[in-house]
Amino acid sequence: MAIRKSGWAKAWPPMAVLAGLLACWQAAVTWGKVDKWLLPSPLAIVQEAIQIWPRLMEHTEATVQLTLLGFAGGSAVGFVLAALLHLIPGFRSAVYPLLVLSQNVPIIAIAPILTMLLGYGLLPKVLLVTVVCFFPITVAMLSGLSSPDAQLRHYFQMIGIGKWQLFWRLELPHAIVHLFSGLKISASYSVLSAIVAEWLGTNKGLGAFMLISFKGFMPDRGYAAVFIIVTLSLTLFGLIVLAERIVIRWQPVKEVE
Amino acid sequence: MSDKASIHAMTTLQVRGIRKSFGKRAARKEVLGGLSLSVADGEFVSIVGPSGSGKTTLFKVIGGLEQPSEGEIWVEGKQTTGERGHISYMPQQSALLPWQSVAGNIELSLAISGLDRKAAKLKTKEWLERIGLDDYADAYPHMLSGGMLQRVSFLRALLAPQRLMLLDEPFGALDALTRLQMQQWLMSIWDQNRRSVLLVTHSIEEALFLSDRIIVLSASPAVVLEEFVVPFERPRSEALWTNPLFNELKQQIYELLKAGGKEANE
């Protein structure tokens, strides 16, 4: 009970603000301050969404698939890369700057190249999401792997731990906390980059649907897609937070009695 | 349990003429200046010395983390200079993994020290019960007090299969009262499982209360200034603190440390 109460206490202020904003939006459109073809009212968006619900869900399914594949791929690549950079001497200093460089190439520029090389299938899109997702995970993991408590490291070295055991027993578990902060960032990135990937040569997915709707002067459909995208992003983020709580149970969080 | 008769039968640790310098050329500084000492099987030896006398470096050399510039380390009759895994160790901070339970921490360290998983598990359970900590077996370290943590840390070192235990100022971070309690507790546990101990401490009283022998080091570069055999019978009690001989020894060691520290400063 105590947890629920405090959860509710935390949740209601932002929800009230959100409800207030939606009400203002609705009022602005209803009383003619904003043109309907430019910005439809929230109620109109919801009505339109209900009408085209099955089609909307089809597109959502495609986007979810792309997001999850890309996110999983990005997480795996990010994780393995961080471990390699950490474990192979000299690798980190040689490769890390290049990784940072890779992040400065805009994805809008990478996308056509991937399409050119790999065609219009699922693969280039998944790759695009992966490219965007791996980086925050690698960076977070690396800082976790190299920062365990010096006392712990010294203790385990004194009792004769090997390099691999040190990695599995100390560095990796310590990096898990950091890993989750990387996963959270990547989760948000993955949905957004999936949307961008769908702008390129496909007619499936919320990204494509959004583009077609706006171009076809059906902004209510476009905004319906935006609502779903936001929900997806929040859901994925929430799932990561939940997973974090389950995995890192040992942490000295506030004791609930 | 090893008996008292065998105490001098075998040396567990021999430190032979260890020298260690850091830095190059003009900036070269000698920390250990030809240090020799030994710990017999089942013997409790303490090292006291002014701060900065290279005790940490000495432990690193014995543990194989640092290669000495000169000299040899022998553990249980084998040369182990620069090799790791021949000792068990208790640091000043308990150094328990925060994501492992108390029992999990002990088991893991025992496994790293060369015990097989099953034996480690059994031994951990048995000893946690024996020292009355079985209620804490599944607790995470952050739930325990400083004194409790050091008990776990000591037990972890005690159960390792290596004969030699290095204790690095194990009670340095505790408050005075907890410290006294811990000394007596340590004594009572050690009496049940006599291992060879090399203890580094800043407290002369602690060294006198716990040890069979005390080695006094000079300021850096560290050499052995003098050795004291501590003549008190075991088991020892708090009554020892008012013993005139106890205080006389304490005074002697204190004077020695003071003089040694001065020499090095000049």
Tens digits of per-residue pLDDT, B115-151?
999 999 999 999 999 988 999 999 999 999 999 999 9
Give the mean pLDDT of B222-227.
Answer: 92
B30-75 pLDDT per residue, tens = 999 999 999 999 999 999 988 877 888 999 999 999 999 999 999 9
Residue ranges and CATH numbers for the domains of chain A are: 46-92+121-247 (1.10.3720.10)
Contact B109 A248 (CB under 8 A): no
User: Residue B235, preceding bond cis, omega within 30 degrees?
Assistant: yes
Which of A152, A157, A158 would best serve as a mutation to test chain B binding (most B beta carbons within 10 A)?
A158
Domain residue ranges of chain B, discontinuous segments joined by +: 4-87+162-265, 95-161
Question: What is chain A's percent helix, strand, coil content, to nearest 5?
Answer: 80, 0, 20
Tell me what the pLDDT averaged over chain A comes to. 88
Give the mean pLDDT of A28-39.
Answer: 81
From B113's Cα to the closest Cα of chain A, the distance in A is 7
Residues of A with a Cβ under 8 Å from any B Cβ are 149, 151-152, 154-161, 165, 169-170, 173, 176, 248, 250-252
Which of B84, B94, B97, B142 would best serve as a mutation to test chain A binding (most A beta carbons within 10 A)?
B97
Contact A155 B89 (CB under 8 A): yes
Give the mean pLDDT of A181-195.
Answer: 94
CA-wise closest residue to B266 among B224, B218, B201:
B218
What pLDDT shows up at residue B195? 92
Contact B140 A252 (CB under 8 A): yes
For residue A257, pLDDT over 50 is answered with no
Between B194 and A8, where is the model more confident?
B194
| Chain A residues touching residue B169 (CB < 8 angstroms) | none
Give the mean pLDDT of A99-105.
Answer: 85
What pLDDT shows up at residue A256? 42
Whether A63 and A205 have beta carbons less than 8 Å apart is answered as yes
| Chain A residues touching residue B88 (CB < 8 angstroms) | 159
Give the mean pLDDT of A188-205.
Answer: 88
A-B contacts (CB, under 8 Å): 62
Q: Model confidence at B159, in pLDDT bands (50, 70, 90)?
A: very high
Q: In what order do the strands lie in the sheet with B11-22?
A: B29-40, B11-22, B70-75, B78-79
Smallest Cβ distance to A157: which of B84, B86, B113? B84
Q: Taking CA atoms, what residue in B is nearest to A164?
A: B112
What pLDDT shows up at residue B23? 87
Contact B160 A159 (CB under 8 A): yes
Torsion of CA B15, B17, B22, B28, to 10 degrees: 160
Q: What is this model's ipTM?
A: 0.90
Between A249 and A225, where is the model more confident?
A225
Specify the CATH number for B4-87+162-265; select among 3.60.70.12, 3.40.50.10860, 3.40.50.300, 3.30.420.310. 3.40.50.300
What pLDDT shows up at residue B220? 79
Contact A160 B95 (CB under 8 A): no
Contact B91 A151 (CB under 8 A): yes
Least confident of A1-15, A23-37, A41-55, B29-43: A1-15
Contact A158 B63 (CB under 8 A): yes
In the DSSP assignment, the letter for residue B200 is: E
Q: State how far the alpha carbon of B192 is from the alpha carbons of B39, B42, B158, B200, B223, in Å.
A: 19, 11, 11, 22, 33
| Chain B residues touching residue A154 (CB < 8 angstroms) | 65, 91, 95
In the DSSP assignment, the letter for residue B218 is: P
**Strand residues in B131-233 grouped as ranges (E):** 164-168, 196-200, 213-217, 224-229
Contacts of A89 (CB under 8 A, 6+ apart): none
| Chain B residues touching residue A169 (CB < 8 angstroms) | 97, 108, 112
For residue A207, pLDDT over 70 is answered with yes
What pLDDT shows up at residue B5? 39
Q: At what angle do helices B117-130 and B146-159 cross, to 10 degrees?
A: 130
Tell me what the pLDDT averaged over chain B comes to. 90
| Chain A residues touching residue B140 (CB < 8 angstroms) | 250, 252
Tokens of B91: 């640091």
Contact B95 A149 (CB under 8 A): yes
Residue with tokens 């960076």: A139
Contact A173 B99 (CB under 8 A): yes
Contact A158 B65 (CB under 8 A): yes
Q: Model confidence at A147, in pLDDT bands (50, 70, 90)?
A: confident
B181-192 pLDDT per residue, tens = 999 999 999 988
| Chain A residues touching residue B158 (CB < 8 angstroms) | none
Between B9 and A75, where is the model more confident?
A75
Q: What percent of chain A has pLDDT over 90?
A: 59
Task: Specify the pairing of strand B44-48 against strand B70-75.
Answer: unpaired
Contact B84 A160 (CB under 8 A): yes
Between A108 and B121, where is the model more confident?
B121
Contact A158 B160 (CB under 8 A): no
Q: What percent of chain B has pLDDT over 90?
A: 73
Q: State how far the alpha carbon of B23 is from the alpha carbons of A1, B18, B20, B72, B266, in Å.
A: 62, 17, 10, 21, 22
Whether A173 and A147 have beta carbons less than 8 Å apart is answered as no
| Chain A residues touching residue B143 (CB < 8 angstroms) | 252
Residues of B with a Cβ under 8 Å from any A Cβ are 59-60, 63-65, 84-89, 91, 93, 95, 97-100, 108-109, 112-113, 140, 142-143, 160, 166
Q: How many CB atoms lie within 10 A of CB A63?
A: 26
What pLDDT shows up at residue B98? 92
